[in-house]
Amino acid sequence: MNLKGKRISIIGAGKSGVATAEIAKSLGATPFISDSAKIKDKTVLEKLATLEIYCEFGGHTSKALACDLMVVSPGVSANAEIIFDAKQAGIIVWPEIELAYRLCRGKIVGITGSNGKTTTTALIGEIFKNAGLPTFVCGNIGNPFVAIAQQVPENGYAIVELSSFQLEQIESFKPDIAVFLNLTPDHLDRHDGLEAYIDAKMRIFENQKVGDVAVVNYDDQTLSKRCPEVKSRLVWFSLQKMLDDGIWATTEGSIFDGKTELMKSSDVKIKGEHNLSNACAAIGAALSAGISKDKLVEILKSFAGVEHRLEPVRLIGGVSYINDSKGTNVDSVFWALKAVPAPVILIAGGKDKGGDFSALNEMVIKKVKLVILIGQASDKIEATWSKLVTCIRADSMEDAILKARINSKPGDTVLLSPGCASFDMFDNYEHRGQVFKKAVWDLKPEGASK
């Protein structure tokens, strides 16, 4: 793709935006970054100055529209006024992954879904690496796709975690292997209702052709209804149905490829029913790429999961502290609660994404002894659960950990699984998880208070 001499406006100065600007400049384009927010991280400004990349912060001016191409970062809404103005002016508008796709010579495995994306993306990446394939894991996990796109050789794979934000504005982007894990209400604060959210996610299949592959969760009713219409080859996976052609498993039995047993379900190192489903999805992707059973089974037996997703942090005074900061929606909290032993002290809250917390009522009654609320969604969650379980407030993560310590006793699990976004109190979910872990490790090892 020839960008030489092109003027490219990049909307959003986060990790993706800065990476896009760097790549654009290296290809001979003239990038300009515009961000509606005021600059928080001075190192970003210093980096852009060093690279001689012009920028503006605190609002979009007419400078952002003086371009041949506009590239939008994932954090920017498709309904943003600057995007509307650009389209009205006839400017081509792409998401970052569209540009990355056009720069990538290798094959692409794209992973989307409401929950489990990061774990499954990392797992698929490890399986492909173990098979000796040039593998680059990117997207919402680690590096932006655009940062590594040109490094992927023709015989290599980009393993890309994809959000609805990234998919909603694609033009030609398509993965060779598309993995769709599940669908539950999420990001309703940004999308215009559930159907708009589903439509954005479904775009992962939009440009696929007959020779491509779609690995899809048979157990998800919405997906099982909508996915038979895709053009690519369908590979189903299921925990509920024995599939003659597909990947299926039982929690107490084995994982199968059709009628061929691959391994015992109990041998999958990452625990929980949701992770068994994620493992089946990863197997479907790996087998579709021609990876041998032995190579994928090796990784499934050793892969320990990812940071901030049901991550054991510390056992102190007989109380287990678990970091599930990646649990940013209601459904992810359900699976986290299902996976950990009761009684649970649950730390929840943050920036509300429009989720229905009453969907967790039965699980809360069954497993939670105390809810400690943080962030903007505290009122909403307390109104939903206060008649089911004791709910208390905390002013900070450190305060939440101290309150959890005071109210815990040996055998309890303290679980951070917020069910909300992090941006009201933290930079991102990683920052939230790091603050949680530091607060836990700052506890003195003298046993729980009760």
User: pLDDT for 139-156, tens place per residue?
Assistant: 877 899 999 999 999 999
**243 and 123 in a common domain:** yes
**119 and 86 in a common domain:** no
User: Is 361 among the domain residues?
Assistant: yes
Residue 418, preceding peptide bond in cis (omega within 30° of 0):
no
User: How wide is the angle at C-alpha 389 spanned by C-alphas 385 and 393, nearest 5°?
Assistant: 75
**185 and 259 in a common domain:** yes
Boundary residue ending a domain (302, 329, 344) = 302
**136 and 85 in a common domain:** no
User: Is 450 among the domain residues?
Assistant: no
User: pLDDT for 273-331, tens place per residue?
Assistant: 999 999 999 999 999 999 999 999 999 999 999 999 999 999 999 999 999 999 999 98
Higher pLDDT, 326 or 127: 127
Mean pLDDT (whole number) for 247-276: 95
**108 and 75 in a common domain:** no
CATH code of the domain in which 361 resides:
3.90.190.20
CATH code of the domain in which 23 resides:
3.40.50.720
Angle between helices 15-26 and 96-103 (to 10 degrees): 40
User: What pLDDT shows up at residue 101?
Assistant: 98
**319 and 192 in a common domain:** no
Rounded to the nearest angstrom, the gap between the alpha carbon of residue 214 and the centroid of all alpha carbons in its chain is 19
**435 and 332 in a common domain:** yes
**137 and 78 in a common domain:** no
Q: In the structure, what pLDDT confidence band is assigned to residue 448 with cuts at 50, 70 and 90? A: very low
C-beta separation of 130 from 140 below 8 A:
no
Contacts of 11 (CB under 8 A, 6+ apart): 17, 34, 35, 60, 64, 70, 71, 72, 73, 76, 80, 82, 83
C-beta separation of 147 from 79 below 8 A:
no
Q: In the structure, what pLDDT confidence band is assigned to residue 446 with cuts at 50, 70 and 90? A: low
Boundary residue ending a domain (302, 336, 355) = 302
CA atoms of 328 and 98, how far apart (whole Å): 26
For residue 51, give the 3-state DSSP assignment.
coil
- The answer, yes or no, to whether residue 450 has pLDDT greater than 80, is no
Task: Please give the model's pTM, rounded to 2 decimal places.
Answer: 0.87
Mean pLDDT (whole number) for 218-238: 94
CATH code of the domain in which 251 resides:
3.40.1190.10
**156 and 53 in a common domain:** no
Number of domains forming the structure of the chain = 3
**104 and 249 in a common domain:** yes
User: Is 375 among the domain residues?
Assistant: yes
User: Is 447 among the domain residues?
Assistant: no
For residue 77, give its domain range: 7-90
Counted residue by residue, the chain has a size of 450
Q: In the structure, what pLDDT confidence band is assigned to residue 192 with cuts at 50, 70 and 90? A: low
User: Is 2 among the domain residues?
Assistant: no
- Please give the mean pLDDT across all residues of the chain: 94
Mean pLDDT is lowest, of 34-48, 157-171, 176-190, 358-372, for 176-190
User: Is 171 among the domain residues?
Assistant: yes
User: Is 449 among the domain residues?
Assistant: no
Nearest to 311 by CA among 272, 282, 350: 272
- The answer, yes or no, to whether residue 193 has pLDDT greater than 90, is no
For residue 235, give the 3-state DSSP assignment.
strand
Higher pLDDT, 41 or 26: 26
**366 and 281 in a common domain:** no
User: How wide is the angle at C-alpha 110 spanned by C-alphas 201 and 11, nearest 5°?
Assistant: 70
Q: Which CB contacts under 8 angstroms, 24+ apart, belong to 256-262?
A: 257/283, 257/287, 257/293, 262/293, 262/296, 262/297
User: What pLDDT shows up at residue 196?
Assistant: 86
The values of phi and psi at residue 270, to 5°, are: -75, 125
User: Is 251 among the domain residues?
Assistant: yes
Boundary residue ending a domain (280, 302, 324) = 302
**225 and 142 in a common domain:** yes
